[in-house]
Chains A and B, each alone.
Chain A
Amino acid sequence: MSAAPLLAALLGRALPGLAARDLGLPLGALLPWLPGCRAGLAEAEALPPEERALLAGLRQSGQPLLGLDPAADAAADPAWDGAAERLAWSPLPDAVPGATITLVAGGMGEAALPEGLGRILLVAGREDAPERHDLLVPEPRLSALFERLCQAAAALAGPGWRQGGRALSPRQASLLLLAPPPGHVPDLLLAAAALPHDLPGPGGAEGLPLGGVRQMRLLLGALPALRWRLRLGFAGAEPGAAALFLDGLRHPVRLGSGGLVASIEPVPGRALVLGLAWREGAPPGLRLVTLEARP
């Protein structure tokens, strides 16, 4: 999913006031790239039990991941309910209930377009590895949304990009946006407390409280398959002798200014789980505030 950063940038620019839900776990392609994005699963029952158990142990802003707890899913979500635009990313070829726009990962294939919906075919990503996705939108809004997407694409495109689009019918349009290698891979800066994790409390604007914690997991989401320089920014105390884990295995890390720095190469196709561990518990007052990743 090397197109995810580009799609996130396109949608974020075209749809101001966007609230997003990434229901594509265990992939989590959009999760790191759209601020405030809630993570979840479109097909929890299709997951292997171990992966499901892993995700069921995580909370995002104090809530279970979407798709794992019907009661929590049904609860009010002011950030979502009150958003000007509600975008859901799903691997299933159908509109997500409650979303105003559904991004169907990989496209709808041969599935019929549901009544009342229009489709914008997206071909996006790196020009040597284009990806095909479908944007399901209310039919009456197709034309206006398409226009906004085209404008956003034009604003995003840099030298050497390929860009185009056309209205195919009242219900269908297509948009192409391809960047030359290595593609559109911007730096990433994330608030740690916005990501799913397994700490007992949700954390907040000051970060995730870690004092005394011996082990914790944090779901970063999927990053394009590149080598990244990852920096974990702490506050409140020095992180001390922290060990970093990627997908459960220890990974070399060094202490940089105000944080831990590691060179990572994520496995493509699944959301990366970061782990932190301290033999005697994290220093009192320590908070994990930000995660920065640079390709």
Chain B
Amino acid sequence: MVSPLPPARNGIADYAAALLTGLATHYDCAAACEDWLAEAPPGIPVVDPALAHRLPGEGRRLLYQLGNNPGHGGVLWALRDRPGVTVLHDPGLLHLYESTGEDRASILAGMRHAVPGLAATYARHLREDGVSTRANHLLFDLAGEVLARSRAVILHSRFALNRLRLAHGAAATAHAAVIPHLLPPGRPPDRAAARARLGIAPGTFLVVTAGFASQAKRLDWVLAALEGLPALRWIHAGGVPPALARRIGARATITGHLAEAEFDAHIAAADALVNLRFPSAGESSGSVARGLRAGVCCLVSATGAFTELPREAVIHLPLAGGAGALAEALAGLAAAPERAAAIGAAGRRHAEAEMALPAIAARYREVIEAAWAVPPPAPRPPPLLRVAADRALIAAALAGRSGPCRLRLDGPDPGWLAECSLAPGGLAEALLPPGAALRAARLEGTDLLLDLVLPA
């Protein structure tokens, strides 16, 4: 498995560690992680990704855990080198591409590929001014490359699958499967013990929000909902950006990032776990999975993957008037705690039936083995490198590469370009290292795009 692992402050790292425990009953697992000192479950070695190919054993299966943040750049690069089964935790991926220095031309091409009609208008800011708007992250996904490079793709919800299918078509997503989020191994902490440990009085109604407080988790709505409910205690179990912390800090206790055991204790202690989402990109929530496992009443937005949770297992809140609906629901639960307990119990039954680790791991095995029963995808397109029009910089950029390659030269001076083109050896001799063959050249805006074949 190629993935971030704890102690990375990343829900996918926790997910990967939990899944490894389940997969270890089916496979001789190893975890390739950029952090060589990361923590895998006992008995599962962590290996430097650059040396994972040296692990003993033939025919190793490859499973990539891919999220939409820079912590997954190495996972994307590994997938490019060796196709495998990819778990797409967030089908967006635009933030991943932007934050790991992918070439803008590749990003624009991916946006055009995903939603051609929208790209003409909404990618204009990026194309012309280099500005990426927040809307881009909702309108576009950059999953095309991952879909093409993967032997199979696993998503956690039908919503995420349908979104990808709409953007990329049925053929490109024919190898995608839905496997629900999982319940982490082990038993959740005892509720009474967790409350005692956190100093929560028996009569206190505790509202917990959890995980890193991205804007889409709408803690601003939670704050608005709880302003009229001063008797309810609110703990945010996770990190909060400074600007938001200043807003909610007077009302909520903010723990900052918690180790797994502490995180679980906060969820187990809760009377209500609130996990809102707007806008949703189709992501699933590990916090909700933990809440369901602990039998805590979960309140979620009626959007995206959350709509696939059974009506009786959680409380779905409308997006319109979300704060008001949340306030009303919390007030009702505080007034009738037995209702919260009943919903929590239904949630736990659902989770144990659908999200138990052994069943999820068996489902993974099915998808992985089916994916390895067919030939791997075709080789990836040649890499696109961006560099200034300078012979030494070009030589450095091409160092160690061979075969087809594309080079984008940043706005060379037209006069200089004309001079190079007219020189005896032409552009190739003026710009390229010895042995590099120039197959095509064209101008894109002020940039010069070269198709090359590099010597072995």
**Which A residues lie at the B interface, using CB under 8 A?**
44-45, 48-51, 53-54, 56-57, 64, 68-72, 74, 215, 217, 243, 245, 247-250, 267, 270, 273, 275, 277, 279
Partner of B48, one of A44, A45, A53, A217: A217
A71 and B399 form a contact (CB under 8 A):
yes
Which residues in B have their C-beta under 8 angstroms from that of A69? 399-400
Query: Once the chains are docked, how many angstroms separate the CA of A74 from the CA of B433?
Result: 10
Which residues in A have their C-beta under 8 angstroms from that of B52? 50, 248
Given A70-B434, A243-B37, are A57 and B50 neighbors across the interface (CB < 8 Å)? yes
Query: Once the chains are docked, how many angstroms separate the CA of A168 from the CA of B403?
Result: 44
**Nearest chain B CB to A53's CB is how many angstroms away?**
7
Given A50-B81, A51-B53, A74-B434, are A68 and B399 neighbors across the interface (CB < 8 Å)? yes
B47 contacts the other chain (CB 8 A): yes
A270 and B48 form a contact (CB under 8 A):
no
Given A217-B48, A273-B51, A279-B37, are A49 and B81 neighbors across the interface (CB < 8 Å)? yes
Which has the most chain B C-beta neighbours within 10 Å: A50, A53, A273, A277? A50
B278 contacts the other chain (CB 8 A): no
Which residues in B have their C-beta under 8 angstroms from that of A70? 433-435, 455
B36 contacts the other chain (CB 8 A): yes
22 A-B pairs whose Cβ atoms sit less than 8 Å apart in the complex: A48-B53, A49-B81, A50-B81, A50-B82, A56-B400, A64-B400, A68-B399, A70-B433, A71-B398, A74-B434, A215-B36, A243-B36, A245-B36, A245-B48, A248-B47, A248-B50, A248-B52, A249-B47, A250-B36, A270-B54, A275-B51, A277-B37
Which residues in B have their C-beta under 8 angstroms from that of A54? 50-51, 53
Which residues in A have their C-beta under 8 angstroms from that of B361? none
CB-CB nearest 7 A-B residue pairs: A248-B51, A45-B456, A248-B48, A56-B400, A50-B53, A69-B399, A71-B395
Which residues in B have their C-beta under 8 angstroms from that of A71? 395, 398-399, 433-434
Query: Once the chains are docked, how many angstroms separate the CA of A45 from the CA of B403?
Result: 9
A45 and B402 form a contact (CB under 8 A):
yes
Given A74-B434, A243-B36, are A53 and B399 neighbors across the interface (CB < 8 Å)? no
A-B contacts, CB under 8 A, total: 74
Query: Once the chains are docked, how many angstroms separate the CA of A217 from the CA of B49?
Result: 12
Which residues in A have their C-beta under 8 angstroms from that of B433? 70-71
Query: Once the chains are docked, how many angstroms separate the CA of A64 from the CA of B398?
Result: 12
**Which B residues lie at the A interface, using CB under 8 A?**
36-37, 45-55, 81-82, 395, 398-400, 402, 433-435, 455-456
Query: Once the chains are docked, how many angstroms separate the CA of A160 from the CA of B51?
Result: 41
**Nearest chain A CB to B434's CB is how many angstroms away?**
6
Which residues in B have their C-beta under 8 angstroms from that of A277? 36-37
Which has the most chain A C-beta neighbours within 10 Å: B45, B400, B402, B434? B400
Known: A54-B50, A70-B433. 11 other contacts (CB 8 A): A45-B402, A45-B456, A49-B81, A53-B50, A54-B51, A54-B53, A69-B399, A71-B434, A72-B399, A217-B48, A250-B46
Query: Once the chains are docked, how many angstroms separate the CA of A248 from the CA of B399?
Result: 24
Whose C-beta in chain B lies nearest to the C-beta of A215?
Answer: B36
Query: Once the chains are docked, how many angstroms separate the CA of A76 from the CA of B135?
Result: 53
Which residues in B have their C-beta under 8 angstroms from that of A45? 402, 456
Given A44-B456, A51-B53, A70-B435, are A64 and B399 neighbors across the interface (CB < 8 Å)? yes
Whose C-beta in chain B lies nearest to the C-beta of A48?
Answer: B53
Query: Once the chains are docked, how many angstroms separate the CA of A51 from the CA of B82?
Result: 12
Which residues in A have their C-beta under 8 angstroms from that of B49? 248
Whose C-beta in chain A lies nearest to the C-beta of B379?
Answer: A49
Query: Once the chains are docked, how many angstroms separate the CA of A74 from the CA of B371?
Result: 44
Which has the most chain B C-beta neighbours within 10 Å: A51, A70, A247? A70
B37 and A44 form a contact (CB under 8 A):
no
Which residues in A have their C-beta under 8 angstroms from that of B395? 71
Which residues in A have their C-beta under 8 angstroms from that of B36? 215, 243, 245, 248, 250, 275, 277
A247 and B54 form a contact (CB under 8 A):
yes
**Nearest chain B CB to A9's CB is how many angstroms away?**
29
**Nearest chain A CB to B20's CB is how many angstroms away?**
16
Whose C-beta in chain A lies nearest to the C-beta of B54?
Answer: A247
Which residues in A have their C-beta under 8 angstroms from that of B398? 71
Query: Once the chains are docked, how many angstroms separate the CA of A108 from the CA of B447?
Result: 50
Which has the most chain A C-beta neighbours within 10 Å: B53, B55, B398, B435? B53
Partner of A248, one of B37, B54, B81: B54
Query: Once the chains are docked, how many angstroms separate the CA of A273 from the CA of B395?
Result: 27
Query: Once the chains are docked, how many angstroms separate the CA of A48 from the CA of B455?
Result: 16
Whose C-beta in chain A lies nearest to the C-beta of B46?
Answer: A250
B53 and A68 form a contact (CB under 8 A):
no
Query: Once the chains are docked, how many angstroms separate the CA of A204 from the CA of B67?
Result: 40
Which residues in B have their C-beta under 8 angstroms from that of A275? 36, 48, 51
Which residues in B have their C-beta under 8 angstroms from that of A64? 399-400
**Nearest chain B CB to A75's CB is how many angstroms away?**
10
Given A50-B82, A277-B36, are A217 and B400 neighbors across the interface (CB < 8 Å)? no
B50 and A249 form a contact (CB under 8 A):
no
Query: Once the chains are docked, how many angstroms separate the CA of A250 from the CA of B46?
Result: 8
**Nearest chain B CB to A31's CB is how many angstroms away?**
17
Which residues in A have their C-beta under 8 angstroms from that of B435? 70
Query: Once the chains are docked, how many angstroms separate the CA of A69 from the CA of B394?
Result: 12
Which residues in B have their C-beta under 8 angstroms from that of A50? 50, 52-53, 81-82
Query: Once the chains are docked, how many angstroms separate the CA of A270 from the CA of B53?
Result: 13
Query: Once the chains are docked, how many angstroms separate the CA of A70 from the CA of B436?
Result: 10
Whose C-beta in chain A lies nearest to the C-beta of B48?
Answer: A248
Query: Once the chains are docked, how many angstroms separate the CA of A70 from the CA of B456?
Result: 9
Query: Once the chains are docked, how many angstroms separate the CA of A250 from the CA of B48?
Result: 9
**Nearest chain B CB to A51's CB is how many angstroms away?**
7
A250 and B434 form a contact (CB under 8 A):
no
Which residues in A have their C-beta under 8 angstroms from that of B50? 50, 53-54, 57, 217, 248
Which residues in A have their C-beta under 8 angstroms from that of B402? 44-45
